[in-house]
Structure 1
């Protein structure tokens, strides 16, 4: 795997020289300051490439912008309202400009209204560090009593709704404000920052959009942009829903292997692929990550490796961001499946045989605890995760103990 690192630009507390010391081989970034639906110009793309190419002292870093995460899909496109046709045309122009700059891999998602959602950004774990957590009871309390969505309580099991009632009654005003902030005001990668009223208005726009209709809109979007990507030699890769189950009554269409199969077969092209995020998909107990990797293998264009620990076996349940080799996903088996696919591609002569991977998220440990970095993106926590993942990769690649010796590539 090509070892990459997500970088949010010059304001990121991790500097380019930090990435070099971590031993990464490429950078994942985006132009978060550009509004959704507008064109990424050659000038803005070149500026970000230049920022990546140099250390703080101006010397060359040798690093390149390898993956765009994300080129956002606007709400107009998701709903097929307003300027959605213009936004698709702008999306294709952005692809043209990115391809001209030598960038081939484009990650995006099709989650309605909110990107990935957490209720606690600093949940303390046993060793004293912190991590992000999604708590279904806290989220139900937000949905029912703070957002005040109509009939929200009926979307939860009666026991969860009752717990949410009691928890909300015990919440301080500071806790309520913090919960709203964590859920709706924008996590890393978000280009829009919403208020509660914004969310209520946007929810109303989805009243008549079922999961089937939203999937049809995704397929229509891909039918427009994938031919452009294929002509340019690019790879589009859809990120799964995070968490991979319904929230606030909104449809979800990229939460399971069956979801991916439906969308990838509807627009069958080497340019239409998947971002395999082990943490997002791993939040559902019925998602077997090594099996999903094997099933989607030729179409996996980008990989996020992280792990979550679920509280129980519920489909829509609570979880926290665990250490990369802990949690509920068998990370060793997943890496074996990925490296087996890479070997197959190499034998086939595919130019994209090395799949870009980044250590996703991470727990705040050591000096991270006082840095106030982007939620989920601590420098030391991610470095620890990358080191652990790199060790597994190195072991599988070793001629004495690796996959070839054990026949996995035969």
Structure 2
């Protein structure tokens, strides 16, 4: 398994020199300043790759090459957007960057309600609180249909939270929900979010799958020609949210994705945390079933509450059996090695992490601390070494 590190380039206060001290060999990054739908210029890709190589790393995974919202909605003339996406793929392949992680979540990326939720040892973590999310959807956003999406006890607690929340509390909640959009992307205020959600009016699971199927038909053949691997990230959280359908949330969804275009170029970013937030998902079992199509792995853990809330746990301490999951990945690597594949090693990164020690006083991207991820990487490295010996 190739130890890798998510780095946000010019938006990241963690330097590559600091990353080098973690022991990671690969860098997972993107050109976060380029708006969705535009071509990633060859010279910008080359410059980013050179910067990474000069620091002693390999740019081994693109995360992410974003998909324009119009493609997800199936709206208008999409030929130029698909052409731009394919050209970006070609420009990346020309620089030897062949693995692209992406997601097909409408409008928002990962969603949390708390960016600095305290944990018992004085550190902080990311948290999704079902009560606060219900309060946001029902009482702040005014999406009345959301009442059907939450249990009665959660709705009552949400109403109580909203009644006692200050304007600052509500602003912090909105900021947390918007934090899942990295880079230079517009954050919505409440009115802006309502308008953005209106653009998805009438979009159900079937319609979103239709859009996703077209996306695969448009780009996977290009990936095959270029020798690239596309790998979809699971929904985070793995449930419908804000009235938007989510279609990459469990094993059945992943089966649909892989069968929608049956090609090794159409693969999966196995995210233990995203899948693990759904109590019905057996993450090691899902990984074992689709192991031959896993091109990239996010290793993190979550601890779930009965009401649908969850929070980021230490990498080895959450609800997912991380040792069992890593064993699945190592077995798949061995299978590829025995088959004579030169690309048998699978890149992974310690995903998210607790903010602790000096992380608490630095201006860091939420969920992407230095010390917390270093701790997670060290723990995961120990498991990998033990299982491999």
Normalised to the residue count of structure 1, the TM-score between the two structures is 0.93
Gaps of 5+ in 1: 55-60, 399-410
Q: Does 1:305 align with 2:305?
A: no
Question: What's the counterpart of residue 87 of structure 2?
Answer: 93
SS at match of 1:3: strand
Q: How does 1:380-395 map to 2 (within 5 A)?
A: 380-395=371-386
1:73 to 62, 67, 82: 67
2:113 to 103, 119, 122: 119
Q: Does 1:261 align with 2:255?
A: yes
Question: What's the counterpart of residue 404 of structure 1?
Answer: none
- Say if 2:235 and 2:247, in contact at 8 Å, map to a contact too: yes
Distance 2:380 2:184 in 1: 27
SS at match of 1:151: helix
SS at match of 1:304: strand
Deviations 1:252-309, CA, capped at 9 Å, x for gaps: 1000010010111110011000000000110001111110110000000000000000
Question: What's the counterpart of residue 25 of structure 2?
Answer: 25
Runs of 4+ in 1 over 4 A off after TM superposition: none
Question: What's the counterpart of residue 330 of structure 2?
Answer: 339
- Say if 1:274 and 1:301, in contact at 8 Å, map to a contact too: yes
Measured at CA, do residues 185 and 282 of structure 1 come closer, stay the same or move farther in structure 2, by a change above 3 Å?
A: closer
Measured at CA, do residues 167 and 321 of structure 1 come closer, stay the same or move farther in structure 2, by a change above 3 Å?
A: same
Distance 1:203 1:174 in 2: 24
Question: What's the counterpart of residue 42 of structure 2?
Answer: 42
Measured at CA, do residues 248 and 11 of structure 1 come closer, stay the same or move farther in structure 2, by a change above 3 Å?
A: closer
SS at match of 1:10: helix
SS at match of 2:14: coil
Q: Alpha-carbon deviation of 1:83?
A: 4.6
- Say if 2:2 and 2:347, in contact at 8 Å, map to a contact too: yes
SS at match of 1:374: coil
Question: What's the counterpart of residue 129 of structure 1?
Answer: 123
Question: What's the counterpart of residue 208 of structure 2?
Answer: 214
Q: Alpha-carbon deviation of 1:237?
A: 0.2
Measured at CA, do residues 190 and 294 of structure 1 come closer, stay the same or move farther in structure 2, by a change above 3 Å?
A: farther
Aligned length: 389
- Say if 1:77 and 1:85, in contact at 8 Å, map to a contact too: no
Question: What's the counterpart of residue 9 of structure 2?
Answer: 9
